[in-house]
Amino acid sequence: MTTPSTTVKATGSSPGTPSGTEIRLDRVTKDFGLAAPAVDDISLTIRPGEFMTFLGPSGSGKTTTLNLIAGFETLTAGTIALNGTDVSDVPPHRRNLGMLFQNYALFPHLTVAQNVAYPLRERKVPKREIARKVAEVLELVQLTGRDDNHPSQLSGGQQQRVALARAIVFEPSALLLDEPLGALDRNLRSALQAEIRRIHREVGSTFVFVTHDQEEAMNLSDRIALFNNGRIEQIGTPQQLYAEPETLFTARFLGDSNVFELGQAALGRSIVWDGESWGVDPATVAAHPGVRAGSAIVVRPEDVEVAARRDEVPPGANAVRAVVRDVEYMGSYRTLLLAMGRRGLPGRTRVSPLRGDYAIGDEIVAWWRPGAQRIVAA
Amino acid sequence: MSSNKIRWPSWPLLVPALALLAGILLVPLADTLIRSVSTPGWTLSNYSNLFTDGVTLTVLWRTAVTAATVTAAALLIGYPYAYLMTRVSPRARGILLVIVLIPFWTSVMARNFAWIIILQDGGPVQSLFEFFGADDVVFYGTTVGVTIAMTQVMLPFMVLPLFSTLGAIDRRLLLAARGLGSSPTAAFWKVYWPLSRSGVMAGVILVFTLSLGFYVTPALLGSPQESLVAQLLAQRTTLLLDFAAAGALGILVLVVTLVLVAWANRMGGTMSAIGVVAAGRTEGRR
C-alpha cells in the first residue's frame, strides 16, 4: 500500500487537506463497434472528495464510463488520470479503487469477515491489522457481530453493507458505485442512501455514483453529470440542473416540466407561442448566453400559477389559456393536468388545496413570471 | 388447494424402479456377498486371501493408479474445455458438446478397435513419434495406451458436471476480485477455483469410480500381464469359476467406491452437481 496506514475515520477527519483523489477524464471514448460509440469524447474532472453522480437513462454510457475509470474496460481513445497520474494502461487491480456493484458481488464461499478482509489480504496487510480494520469497518456499516455469516444468510441491504465495507476497508483512492441500491426496495434504498452519505462524510474520499434514478442523484450528489447518448448533457449541482437546465433533455429528465417548443429561434424582447406574446427576463438570458438560439421554454409546475380570468393575471406575467384535464390530489398539494393553448399542449401545475376548487373541463389561465422560465436548446 | 382432490402418496412412483433395482442389483449382490463368506463353509478366507495372494493387491493398486491418472488427465483436459463452453456462443457450445459426447454415441467395440488401429505398432501415433526420433515408444498393450483410450471415453463425465458448475459462476465476482486488488491469476485461484470445486469433485468422483470398473478397454488395448481389477474378476469368474473369490474382490471394490463417494459427498456439493447433470440442465445456460 502506498497510503499511510491511517484508520478509515482518521482519513476523513484530517483537516484542511482534501483527502480524496482527483479523477480526470480527457476526451475519453469507448467504441464497442456498434452504431454509435458507448462513450463519445467525454472530458470531465471529478474533484477530490467530491460526490459525483453519473445520471442518465440506460444505454447513455454512464456505466461504461464508470467501468473505464475502474479499468474493467479499455479506452478506445483519451486518457484517464488519478491525481494527475495517467492510469489509462494500468490494470484494474493496480488502480486502488473501491467498487460497489448492483448485485453486491460478494464472494459466496467466504464469510462476511473474509469478504471484507479480501482486499487487505491481497495487499499483504499483517493479520492483526486485518482483524482490527475489519472490525472497525463492520462497525462503520453497522454490521458488527455478523463476521462469521455467509452472504447468503444476509438480507439484500445487509449484503450491500458488507460490499460497502469491503470496498472502503483498504482506503481506496476513490469509491465507484454502480447502481448499488437498484436491487433494493424503496424504504431500504432511502436508508442506505443516508448511510452512503454519512460514510462519504466520514471517509471523505471521492465517490462516483452511477444511477438512473433522478431522486437518488439529487439526494446524494455534490454534482451530477447527466449522460445522454454517450455524452454529458449537462454537469452541475442538483440545484443547477433542476433550476437551470441548458437542454430540453435535462429539463425533461430531472423533475416535471411544462415544455413550450418554439418554431424558430424567436428570442428577443418577447417570444410568440401559439398567439400568446411572452416577455423574457434579461437576467436568465444573460446567465446562459450560449442558449440564445434556444428552441423551447421550460417552466416547472410549481412556478405555474392559476387564474380564473385573464384580467386576474398580474402585469408582466406570461400567460396562456388552458383547460383542466384532470386533478390529482397529492395531500399537501394538488396537481392540475392541463391542456394549454389552442392545440391543447399537455401541462401541469401545482396548486394549494386551500385555493378554490377546480373541476375537469374548467377554463382557466395559467401564468408565470418570466424569471421562472428557462430557455433551453432542443 | 381444491378439497375434492385426493392426495395420493407419491412413493408408489418409485415401485417400478425399486423392483428393477431389487431384481438386477440387490438380489445378485446379496447372493455374491453370501457366497463370498460361505464357500467353503462360513469363512472370511476369501477376503484374507485377497491381501495375501500377491496378485490382487498389485492389480488393485495398478487399477487405482490408472483410474487416478485417467481422472487427472480428464480434469486437465476437461476444465479448460468446460470453461471455454461457458464463454462461447450457444451455437459453438452445441458443437463443443457434440464433440465431447461422440465417444458416448460410438459403439464400445468400434471405439476400442479404432484405438487399436491408431495406437498399434506401426500405427499413425507410433510413426509420428518415430518421425521425431523416438522409435521405442509403444502404446498398444501398455497401461499408457489404456489410459489414453479411457480418458477419451471418460471426458464427458468430467466435462458435463464441470460445465454446469462453471456456467453458474457469476463472472462479475471476477471483476469484483480484480477491483479489490487481485491479478487475473489470483482472482482465478481465490474466487473462480473455489466456486468450481463442487463440479470438480463431482467429475473426479464420477470418472474415478467408473474407471475402477473398466473392462473392455484394458482387455483389448492392455496386456494380460498388466491387467486391471475388472479383468481379474472376469478371469476368476469365467476361467477359474471361483465365484467366492471373485465375489470377495467385487465386494471389496464396491466398498472402496462407496467410501470414496461418501467422502466426496461430505466435501460438499457432489451429489447436487451430479444431480444437475442428470436433470439435463447442462444445456440452455447463458
Per-residue pLDDT reduced to its tens digit, B246-258:
888 888 888 888 8
Confidence at residue A263, expressed as pLDDT on a 0 to 100 scale: 64
> B143-167 vs B270-278: helix axis angle to the nearest 10?
90
Of the partner residues B173, B181, B183, the one whose CB lies closest to the CB of residue A105:
B173
Min Cα distance B176 → chain A (Å) is 6
H/E element, A248? helix A248-253
Which residues of chain B register pLDDT less than 70?
Answer: 1-4, 268-286
CA B208 to chain centre: 4
* Residues from B in contact with A at Cβ < 8 Å: 170, 172-173, 175-183, 186-187, 190-191, 194-195
Alpha-carbon separation of residue A160 from A111, A151, A185, A195, B241 (angstroms):
14, 10, 13, 11, 68
Give the count of beta carbons closer than 10 Å to the beta carbon of residue B26: 11
Direct distance between the N- and C-terminal alpha carbons of chain B, in angstroms, rounded to an integer:
36
Give the side-chain half-sphere CA count within 13 A for A28. 31
Distance, CA of B1 to chain centre? 45
Domain range enclosing B90: 38-278
Reported ipTM: the value is 0.76
Residue B6 covered by a domain: no
Taking alpha carbons only, the member of A309, A298, A308, A349 closest to residue A325 is: A349
pLDDT of residue B244: 84
- Say what the pLDDT of residue A210 is: 95
- Where does chain A show beta strands of DSSP type E? 23-30, 39-46, 51-55, 77-82, 85-86, 97-100, 174-178, 206-211, 223-228, 231-236, 258-261, 270-273, 276-279, 296-299, 305-307, 318-329, 334-340, 345-351, 363-368, 374-376
| Inter-chain residue contact B179 with A70, CB threshold 8 Å | yes
Q: Containing H/E element for B83?
A: helix B56-87
Q: Is B20 a domain residue?
A: no
User: Strand A85-86 vs strand A77-82: parallel, antiparallel, or unpaired?
Assistant: antiparallel
B148: domain CATH number is: 1.10.3720.10
> Does A91 contact B176 at a Cβ distance shorter than 8 Å?
no
pLDDT tens column, A115-158: 999 999 999 999 999 999 999 999 988 888 888 999 989 988 89
- Domains in chain A (CATH in brackets) are 8-242 (3.40.50.300), 246-376 (2.40.50.100)
Q: Does a structural domain hold residue B127? A: yes
Contact A250, A79 (CB under 8 A): no
Q: Is residue B246 part of a domain?
A: yes
CA distances from B140 to A2, A91, B69, B121, B197 (A): 61, 50, 17, 7, 35
| Cα A181 to chain centroid, rounded | 13
Residue B198 inside a domain? The answer is yes
Cell triple for B171:
463472472
- The residues of A whose Cβ lies within 8 A of any Cβ of B are 70-72, 91-93, 96-99, 101, 103, 105, 107-109, 118-119, 122-123, 166-167, 170, 176
The beta-carbon neighbor of B176 closest among A91, A96, A99 is A99
Chain A positions in Cβ-Cβ contact with residue B192 (cut-off 8 Å): none
CA distance linking residue B91 with residue B97, whole number of Å: 10
Q: Does B16 map to a domain?
A: no
Amino acid at A216: E
Sequence-ordered alpha helix ranges (H) in A41-111: 62-70
Instruction: Tell me: cis bond preceding B40? Omega within 30 of 0 counts.
Output: yes
- Domains contained in chain B, number: 1
What pLDDT, on the 0 to 100 scale, is given for residue A206? 94
Structural domain contains residue B14: no
pLDDT beneath 50: ranges in chain A = 1-18, 289-291
Provide the greatest CA pair distance for chain A: 79
Residue B117 forms part of a structural domain: yes
CA B247-B251-B256 angle, to 5 degrees, is: 150
Q: Which residues of B touch A71 (CB under 8 A)?
A: 178
Using the beta-carbon criterion (under 8 Å), do A109 and B179 form an inter-chain contact? no
Phi–psi pair at A228, nearest 5 degrees? -155, 125
